[in-house]
Amino acid sequence: LFAGQSEFVKGVVAMSGLPPADRMEVCFAGRSNVGKSSLINALTGTKGLARASNTPGRTQEINYFTQGPDHYLVDLPGYGYANAPLAVVEKWQRLLKQYLSGRQTLRRAFVLIDARHGVKPVDDEIMSLLDSAAVTFQCVMTKIDKVKIKDKDAVLKQVQAALAKHPAAYPEIVLTSSEKGEGIPTLRSIITTLE
Ligand code: GDP
């Protein structure tokens, strides 16, 4: 369904650089190293499509990919860089806010959470940003293959508790492993059935 239909469109550094809003889009947000590039590559079945978000120079860009003729997948800059200069952080936060509140064709945000770590304060901040922008967001747990079955419930409960505080949260949590392919078909079908 998805494989081989994706291409990199462009990296955007300002609202004026966004591609025409001629199709629906979903965006992906998450702390650096959460597994965002791996997830986008797994979703699209295109290895090396999304580069690691910590590739120098790409961290402040909103990266657009096509997904077939009808969708854009949008890779938001990774957040949670402890040592990024304040001016840089402020610049992309501004862009992020403008994008989230101004993009008519944005249908859903996926907030990626490392299944080993649960929701961190910076994740909570991005969720609040999504609340204020009134963008429905859904949590995607990454690296679920790294979590023991007996620990899954505890991390899910922590995430559910965090989501309960956010009016824009969509309650269903998607468990994924880009490595094992778990949850990838589910996420694809969520994206393709969005109106
Ligand atoms: P990004 O910075 O969010 O784009 O993260 P990457 O996709 O570059 O992944 C960060 C690290 O986590 C890499 O070493 C990946 O191989 C690893 N990783 C990503 N997804 C998974 C997964 O589903 N399972 C496991 N075990 N490791 C993963």
Number of the ligand 1 atom closest to the C-alpha atom of 40: 7
Distance 127 CA to ligand 1 centre (A): 21
pLDDT of residue 77: 81
| Per-residue model confidence as pLDDT tens digits over 135-179 | 999 999 999 999 999 999 999 999 999 999 999 999 999 999 999
**Angstrom distances, CA of residue 128 to CA of 64, 97, 112, 167:** 23, 11, 15, 9
Q: CA-to-CA distance for 167 and 31, rounded, in angstroms?
A: 21
Report the CATH superfamily, name and number, of domain 6-193. Answer: P-loop containing nucleotide triphosphate hydrolases (3.40.50.300)
Number of the ligand 1 atom closest to the C-alpha atom of 176: 23
| Number of Cα atoms under 13 Å in the Cβ half of residue 87 | 0
pLDDT of residue 81: 61
From 32, 36, 38, 147, the mutation candidate for ligand 1 (largest count of ligand atoms within 8 A of CB) is 38
Q: Is the CB of 59 under 6 A from ligand 1?
A: no
| Per-residue model confidence as pLDDT tens digits over 17-38 | 999 999 999 999 999 899 999 9
- Statement: residue 195 has pLDDT above 90: no
pLDDT of residue 34: 94
Q: CA-to-CA distance for 128 and 111, rounded, in angstroms?
A: 12
Number of the ligand 1 atom closest to the C-alpha atom of 54: 2
pLDDT of residue 86: 81
Rounded average pLDDT over 36-52: 86
Q: Is the CB of 183 under 6 A from ligand 1?
A: no
Q: What SS3 class is residue 184? A: helix
CB proximity list for 24: less than 8 A, separation 6 or greater: 70, 71, 72, 105, 106, 107, 194
Determine how many CB atoms are found less than 10 A away from the CB of residue 86: 7
| Per-residue model confidence as pLDDT tens digits over 79-130 | 766 567 788 778 888 899 999 999 999 999 999 999 999 999 999 999 999 9
Q: Is the CB of 146 under 6 A from ligand 1?
A: yes
Adjacency order of strands within the sheet including 137-142: 6-12, 62-67, 71-75, 24-30, 106-114, 137-142, 169-175
Rounded average pLDDT over 183-194: 95
Number of the ligand 1 atom closest to the C-alpha atom of 38: 7
> Is the pTM value of this prediction over 0.80?
yes
Better pLDDT: 75 or 51: 75
Distance 34 CA to ligand 1 centre (A): 6
**Angstrom distances, CA of residue 99 to CA of 10, 131, 170:** 15, 14, 20
State ipTM.
Answer: 0.99
- Statement: residue 56 has pLDDT above 60: no
DSSP 119: -
